[in-house]
A and B are shown apart, each in its own frame.
Chain A
Amino acid sequence: MLNYTLTHLEQLENEAIFIMREVAAQFQKPALLFSGGKDSIVMAYLARKAFHPANIPFPLVHIDTGHNFPETIEFRDKLVGEYQARLLVGSVEESIKKGRVREETGINASRNGLQTTTLLDTLEEHQFDAALGGGRRDEEKARAKERFFSHRDDFGQWDPKNQRPELWNIFNGRKHFGEHFRVFPLSNWTEMDVWQYILKENIPLPSIYFSHTREVIDRNGVLLATSPYLELASDEKPEEKVVRCRTVGDMTCTGVVESTASTLEEIIQEVAAARVTERGGRADDKRSETAMEDRKKAGYF
């Protein structure tokens, strides 16, 4: 306190709160994308801080693939109640029924790619002009160049060569009718920062982040949880393992890791020692080297 400096976590927190308030002020109808994963839980937590004692002035939007870990949905509903937040659900199941997207088939079938259409439809239906996301630049190469305020054209597309320069702390959210922004207040955080912040602030998380016993299969080195949504190849034999989730997404493509870490401190030690990046456990990024860039251009989170 004496020399008026903030620690790096305090700086990141204050930056994220600043960004959230800019979004509330600059946009007509923002929304916070809430997946139930730890990053979006931290986002909701920071949003509560930013506007306290008022409620969060925008709804939480969950794009529901229908293939969730049940623990995530339970946790989501509890959080929404506690924060007195508004929740909107965009359903991939509905998009499939309406014929907006076609369900992938075969053994690697996943609804992860289908989320993009549901997301864009949901944003359009409610005329949201800004969607706050928990994306971080350290997650993947294509994200290293992402802006805090990421401009999307009226097709929801990201043009990496046509992003606005962001100088000092001035963010330009002006747009034409039909365009929208994705905003990433956690841009400068790393996975370690998120975990340390959760520990420092004692933020509750869904139980699947902690070590538990679960039936899994090993597919190309990625451990996938068995569920009614996962089609098995004939030679794939489910076995019980002690695991935990490092990220939370569609059950069919979110890998789990073998782990006995049952507390935040143990998870942090594990993250510190980890030799595989967080997204390394996601089968959807492995499809090609520029998979993420392609999906981002199409309007993925």
Chain B
Amino acid sequence: MNAEIDTTNYLNMDLLRFTTAGSVDDGKSTLIGRLLYDSKSIFEDNLEAIEKSSRERGDENVNLALLTDGLRAEREQGITIDVAYRYFATPKRKFIIADTPGHIQYTRNMVTGASTADLAIILIDARKGVIEQTRRHSFIASLLQIKHLVVCVNKMDLVEYKQEVFDQIVEDYQAFASRLNISDIKFIPISALHGDNVVDRSEKMDWFQGSPLLYTLETTYIGSDHNHVDARFPVQWVIRPHSDEHHDFRGFAGRVASGVFKPGDEVVALPSGIVSRIKSIHTLEGGVTEAYSPMSVAITLEDEIDISRGDIIAKPDNQPENTRNVEIMLCWFDDKKKLQPRGKYILRHNTRETQCIVEEVRYKVDINTLHKVENDADIGLNEIGRVVLRSQQSLFIDPYMKNRETGSLILIDEQTNNTVAAGIILEPLHDNRAQPDPGFSI
């Protein structure tokens, strides 16, 4: 860590959330350990602790993977079993890593990690090339609309840093990635173990013209990834002070999901459809002149209209679709029960909670081959399928492609209260099965 921190600079840093996916042995934990280690984000006592553990386990070098394998069960089995979050910063950016395991049975964790990520790192073992798991990870990144993908070909040291190996993997990957919806894909040959092209440029691969990984993470531009067009404000809570000073104050508290709100804007409250104007956008520091995603504010309106948690404030000329039929790509998370055809679940969309019924399972996706499996309604743990839900109350939705916030939902089991599925909302289906599939094309 830098001896001298520039406080002014720190206040101007931005944030990049990224996810790492890889299979058991392709060195993901070592890569993260390397990023933390080389960016000097590891403290002395942490390092001492892993040096001690490494010695006790009889490892030859300091095992950087031990930095990230947190829970006892993981250290015993030598695998990562859940999403773990890591933090590091460079003078340019702060990073949040969602470190997710890559086994077939942990699609659930990968989807979870990807749901908030701006960028995904896909790890490929240089000796193995593009394998099923690579395809699965890439598909999920595409399905969850991660805009930036960095494919790291790791263990280059074990293939003598040969350019041909790297080039072949890039070619194989591109052939299959043409079916994905990701526009920005970069490739970097690395050795996480030795630090080649992770923080510093590798001296052993002078044939590589691109930037090392850390520089790529620092400079990937994500400013235009947010939707600042469609104004959506899901109401979380109504602030009513019940004090003499703020007797008439009614603030609709929430976080801007997308778009921009300004005092004076004409807005519509949904589902009531009543139109009013924004009187003020309130924060503790006073009114703000505009609110955009992901700002948490409280909006007051000119007129006294009835709005409560679960409602959405939008603009009269740009409203989300009002529907009770939702077409989604669903990823199933429950290890005890499968998705029940005609089953009833609790549906959470933004701050709105209602019941829903599974109307139809259109098809299942084989996430290794990306093939559709028609006539298979049997969706169990870690499986993905295209499903139609019918909700009890109206929902105000946007396609996930346009809006991550208002285009996503979760399903909750009524008995266990567990979160059992994630749903990615698709374009409303007007003529049956005529629209392309999300995340990939077949």
- Which of B228, B254, B293, B294 counts the most A-chain CB atoms under 10 A from its CB? B294
Tell whether A280 pairs with B45 under 8 Å between CB atoms, given A50-B296, A272-B5: yes
Most buried by A among B84, B237, B242, B282: B237
* Chain B residues in 8 Å Cβ range of A15: 294, 296
Partner of A165, one of B13, B93, B419: B419
Chain A interface residue count, Cβ-Cβ cutoff 8 angstroms: 68
Are A11 and B1 in contact, CB atoms less than 8 angstroms apart?
A: no
Q: B409-442 interface mask toward A, CB cutoff 8 Å, 1 = contact, 0 = none?
A: 1101000011100100000000000000000000
Bound-state Cα–Cα, A188 to B95, Å: 10
Q: Is A284 an interface residue (CB 8 A)?
A: no
Contact of B7 with A199 in the complex, beta carbons under 8 Å: yes
Known contacts A55-B241, A268-B7, A269-B4; A14 and B295 CB within 8 A of each other: yes
Report the stretch among A70-78, A100-108, A139-147, A242-250 that lies at the interface. A139-147
Please report the C-alpha to C-alpha distance between residue A24 and residue B236 in the assembled complex, in whole angstroms.
Answer: 9
- CA–CA, A170 and B298, complex, Å: 19
B11, A7: Cβ atoms closer than 8 Å: yes
Establish whether residues A8 and B296, one from each chain, have CB atoms under 8 Å apart when the complex forms. Answer: no
Q: A172-B419, A272-B5, A275-B44 are in contact. Are A160 and B71 (CB under 8 A)?
A: yes
Tell whether, in the assembled complex, residue A172 and residue B5 are in contact, meaning their CB atoms are under 8 Å apart.
no
Distance (whole angstroms) from the CB of B79 to the closest CB of chain A? 13
B246 within 8 A of A: yes
Known: A21-B237, A166-B112. A14 touches B71 (CB 8 A): no
CB 8 Å contact bits of B1-12 with A (1 = contact, 0 = none): 111110100111
Q: Are B83 and A145 in contact (CB under 8 A)?
A: yes
**Residue contact B260 to A50, C-beta cutoff 8 Å:** no
**CB neighbours of B86 from chain A (8 A):** 138, 144
Q: Which residues of chain A have C-beta atoms less than 8 A from B115's C-beta?
A: 167-168
Is residue A258 contacting chain B, with contact meaning CB distance below 8 A?
Answer: no
Identify which of A12, A175, A269, A275 contacts B5 (C-beta below 8 A).
A269
Asked whether B315 is an interface residue with its Cβ less than 8 Å from the other chain, the reply is no
Residues of B within 8 A of A62 (CB): none
B379 touches A (CB below 8 Å): no
* Shortest beta-carbon distance from A169 to chain B in Å: 7
Chain A residue nearest to B241 (CB atoms) is A54
Closest to B418 in A: A164
Question: Is the beta-carbon distance between A188 and B223 smaller than 8 angstroms?
Answer: no
**Chain A 27-66 interface residues, beta-carbon cutoff 8 Å to B:** 48-55
Contact present for B283 and A277 (CB under 8 Å): no
Query: CB distance A5 to B284 under 8 Å?
Result: no
Given contacts A22-B236, A269-B4, contact A172 B284 (CB under 8 A): no
**Pair A4/B292 contact, Cβ less than 8 Å:** yes
- Give every chain A residue within 8 A of B10 (Cβ-Cβ): 9, 192, 196
A160-185 vs B, Cβ < 8 Å mask (1 yes, 0 no): 11011111111010111000000000
B402 touches A (CB below 8 Å)? no
In the complex, whether A114 has a CB less than 8 A from a CB of chain B is no
- A18 and B410 alpha carbons, distance in the complex (Å): 18
Report the Cα distance A280→B46, complex, angstroms: 9
Contacting pair A275 B43 (CB below 8 A): yes
Across-interface contacts of B309 in A (CB, < 8 A): 25
Contact B15 A11, beta carbon cutoff 8 Å: yes
B residues near A187, Cβ cutoff 8 Å: 85
Q: Is B325 an interface residue (CB 8 A)?
A: no
Those 3 A-B pairs whose CB atoms lie nearest each other, nearest first: A8-B15, A141-B70, A272-B5
Q: A-contacting residues of B (Cβ < 8 Å)?
A: 1-5, 7, 10-15, 43-46, 49, 53, 68, 70-73, 81-87, 89, 93-94, 96, 108-109, 111-112, 115-116, 223, 226, 228, 236-237, 239-243, 245-246, 249, 251, 253-255, 260, 282-284, 290, 292-296, 298, 309, 333, 346, 348-351, 404-405, 408-410, 412, 417-419, 422
Residues of A near any B CB (own CB < 8 A): 1, 3-9, 11-15, 17-18, 21-22, 24-25, 48-55, 137-138, 141-142, 144-145, 160-161, 163-170, 172, 174-176, 187-188, 190, 192-193, 196, 199-200, 265, 268-269, 272-277, 280, 289-290, 293
Query: What are 23 A-to-B residue pairs whose CB atoms are below 8 Å?
Result: A6-B295, A7-B13, A14-B296, A25-B309, A50-B296, A51-B253, A52-B283, A53-B239, A141-B71, A145-B82, A145-B83, A165-B422, A166-B112, A167-B408, A170-B348, A170-B408, A170-B409, A175-B417, A200-B11, A269-B5, A274-B1, A277-B43, A293-B70
